[in-house]
Every structure is written in structure tokens, then in C-alpha cells.
């Protein structure tokens, strides 16, 4: 347990530039405090001690804002940054050197028994407010963007963003796990592609409308010419017949 605490301390020094000393980390880092107390409550949980582990977990939540069920398994060098609002369920498993930000939930999706909470492999980073739900597996070196909701298995070396979480591979590109600004905006890319497609279709429709209008104008013009011609011919015929009719009537009277 002391080796695990040493790893937890070392990872904070490595990943948080605001950490200035041993005493500051012990007194002022709720994530470190929550994990340290959890390691004790987890030991008691494994010994099947009733009530005490859950009570210790409840007290930890009150003091730190981090709720970790005593049954959860947490590896070495895990860092919960800021920590407020983090919830880790009973059958959750967190691998070595994982990083969880505030508001993260490792929860279940129903009342099923058995393995109902997620498993995070080593070096997984879960952004602020992200929800990882169900008995799913998140592969090593995976990054989950802030606010994402993940309900399906994720293979290693992936980036997950959106609701529901969608996998965006970063093959061959080394990215700092703390560089959240480097996360791709998949939804924005899709919206942009849709807007481009809409612009293309609108331009195509406008072109077709112009052709239809030109064709209609030609038809109307042609019809007007025909009507004018027919009207002129009708007048001439009527005038001609009218003259003949008057002459015919005079002859037969």
C-alpha cells in the first residue's frame, strides 16, 4: 500500500506543475486524499468487514467530494485532479498511471449484478465531466474528451469524443495526454461537411431553378406570339367571313 501511495505522490509531481511540495499534496489535494483513504477501505472490503469500509468511503466523499466505492480496484500512480464530483462504482477497475479530472463518473447502466462498471487500462485520461458507463473496457493510452459519454468498448491508442462517445484514431501521432486543446472536434467536422454539402445542393437547385425560369419564359413568350398570331388571323378571318356573309345575305334576300 505504501508503494502505491508513493506512486500516487510521484504522478502528481509529474503531471501537476502547481504541486510544490509533499506537505501541500497531502493537505491540499482531495484526489490524493480520496485515493489514499480508499486504499485503506479497499483492504477492509477485501477482508469482508461489514459497514466500516462503506462508512469510510462516505466520510471520504464528505471531506473530498470524491466518491469511491471500497470495492473498486485502483492501480498505482492514479491521479484524480481537483476531484470534486468524481464517482467510481463498485466493480470499476483503474489501471496504472490513469488520470481522471473533476466530474468524471465510472458508473453502471442498470441494476444488473456482477461486473457492471468500466475497466480502464493503463495510461487512460478521462476529461472533466466525462461519463464512462457499463461493464466496458477502455484500452491503454486512450483519451476521453471532456463531457463525453462512453458506453461501448474502446480499443487502445484511441481518442473518444462526443455524446455518445465516438472513436477518433490518432495513429502515428504522439499527443501529450494533458493537451486537451488538441482533441479533435468530430462533431464540428461533421457539421462543416454537412454545411458544405448543403451549399453545394443549394447552388445546384438555384441553377435548376434558373433553367426552369428561362424555359418558362421562353414558353410564355412563344405562347404569347402564338396567341397574337391566332388573334390576328382570327380577326382577319372573321372580317373576311363577315364581309362575305353580308354579301351572301344581300344576295339571298
Can you give 5-23 as a three-state secondary structure string? Answer: HHHHHHHHHHHCCCCCCHH
**What is the chain's mean pLDDT, rounded?**
77
* pLDDT value at 241 more than 70: no
**From CA 88, how far away is CA 164, in angstroms rounded?**
20
* pLDDT value at 165 more than 60: yes
Same domain? For 232 and 138 the reply is no
Same domain? For 178 and 224 the reply is no
Lowest mean pLDDT among 38-52, 120-134, 164-178: 164-178
Domain boundary among 163, 184, 205: 184
Average pLDDT over residues 224-233: 48
What's the pTM value of the predicted model, to 2 decimals? 0.66
Q: Output the pLDDT for position 137.
A: 92
Strand pairing partners for 52? none
Output the DSSP codes for 146-191. TT-EE-S-B-SSEEEETTTTEEEE-TT----TT-GGGS--HHHHHH
Average pLDDT over residues 158-187: 65
Q: What is the pLDDT of residues 86-137, one digit of tens each?
A: 999 889 999 888 999 989 999 888 777 788 899 999 889 998 889 999 889 9
Q: Do the strands 131-133 and 105-107 form a parallel or antiparallel pair, or are they unpaired?
A: parallel
Same domain? For 73 and 165 the reply is yes
Structure-model confidence comparison of residues 182 and 60, the more confident one: 60
Same domain? For 177 and 191 the reply is no
Look at phi and psi of residue 67 and say left if phi exceeds 0, alpha if psi is from -120 to 50, else beta.
Answer: beta
Q: Output the pLDDT for position 208.
A: 83
Same domain? For 208 and 98 the reply is no
* pLDDT value at 222 more than 80: no
Number of independent structural domains in the chain: 2
Domain boundary among 184, 212, 239: 184
Q: Output the pLDDT for position 171.
A: 54
Same domain? For 127 and 225 the reply is no
Q: Output the pLDDT for position 236.
A: 52
Question: At 237, which helix (H) or strand (E)?
Answer: helix 186-251
**From CA 131, how far away is CA 149, in angstroms rounded?**
5
Q: Do the strands 166-169 and 158-161 form a parallel or antiparallel pair, or are they unpaired?
A: antiparallel
Q: What is the pLDDT of residues 182-196, one digit of tens each?
A: 555 666 666 777 777
Q: Output the pLDDT for position 230.
A: 47
Same domain? For 243 and 162 the reply is no
Same domain? For 124 and 191 the reply is no
**From CA 143, how far away is CA 220, in angstroms rounded?**
65
Q: In which band, very low, low, confident or very high, does the pLDDT at 232 lie, cut at 50, 70 and 90?
A: very low
Q: Output the pLDDT for position 248.
A: 45
Same domain? For 48 and 169 the reply is yes
Average pLDDT over residues 43-55: 88
Domain boundary among 127, 149, 184: 184
Percent of the chain with pLDDT over 90: 9
Same domain? For 169 and 196 the reply is no
Same domain? For 47 and 169 the reply is yes
Joined grid coordinates for residue 129: 465531466
Q: In the block, which residue shows the cell 510544490?
A: 20
Same domain? For 195 and 73 the reply is no
Q: Output the pLDDT for position 1.
A: 59
Q: In which band, very low, low, confident or very high, does the pLDDT at 159 lie, cut at 50, 70 and 90?
A: confident
Q: In the block, which residue shows the cell 477518433?
A: 168
Q: In the block, which residue shows the cell 443549394?
A: 202
Structural domain of 229: 185-253
The CATH number linked to 107 is: 2.160.10.10
Amino acid at each position: 500500500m505504501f508503494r502505491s501511495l508513493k506512486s500516487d505522490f510521484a504522478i502528481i509531481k509529474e503531471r501537476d506543475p502547481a504541486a510544490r511540495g509533499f506537505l501541500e499534496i497531502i493537505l491540499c489535494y482531495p484526489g490524493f486524499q480520496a485515493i489514499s483513504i480508499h486504499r485503506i477501505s479497499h483492504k477492509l472490503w477485501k477482508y469482508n468487514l461489514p459497514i466500516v469500509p462503506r462508512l469510510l468511503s462516505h466520510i471520504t466523499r464528505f471531506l473530498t467530494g470524491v466518491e469511491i466505492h471500497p470495492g473498486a480496484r485502483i492501480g498505482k500512480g492514479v491521479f484524480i485532479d481537483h476531484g470534486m464530483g468524481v464517482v467510481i462504482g463498485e466493480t470499476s477497475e483503474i489501471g496504472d498511471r490513469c488520470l481522471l479530472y473533476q466530474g468524471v463518473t465510472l458508473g453502471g447502466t442498470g441494476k444488473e449484478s456482477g461486473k457492471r462498471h468500466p475497466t480502464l487500462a493503463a495510461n487512460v485520461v478521462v476529461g472533466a465531466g466525462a461519463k464512462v458507463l457499463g461493464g466496458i473496457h477502455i484500452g491503454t493510452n486512450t483519451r476521453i474528451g471532456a463531457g463525453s459519454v462512453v458506453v461501448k468498448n474502446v480499443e487502445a491508442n484511441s481518442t473518444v469524443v462526443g455524446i455518445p462517445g465516438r472513436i477518433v484514431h490518432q495513429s502515428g501521432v504522439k499527443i501529450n495526454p494533458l493537451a486537451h486543446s488538441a482533441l479533435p472536434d468530430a462533431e464540428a467536422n461533421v457539421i462543416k461537411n454537412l454545411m458544405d454539402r448543403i451549399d453545394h445542393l443549394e447552388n445546384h437547385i438555384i441553377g435548376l431553378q434558373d433553367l426552369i425560369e428561362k424555359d418558362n419564359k421562353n414558353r410564355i413568350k412563344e405562347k404569347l406570339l402564338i396567341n397574337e398570331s391566332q388573334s390576328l388571323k382570327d380577326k382577319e378571318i372573321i372580317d373576311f367571313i363577315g364581309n362575305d356573309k353580308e354579301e351572301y345575305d344581300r344576295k339571298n334576300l
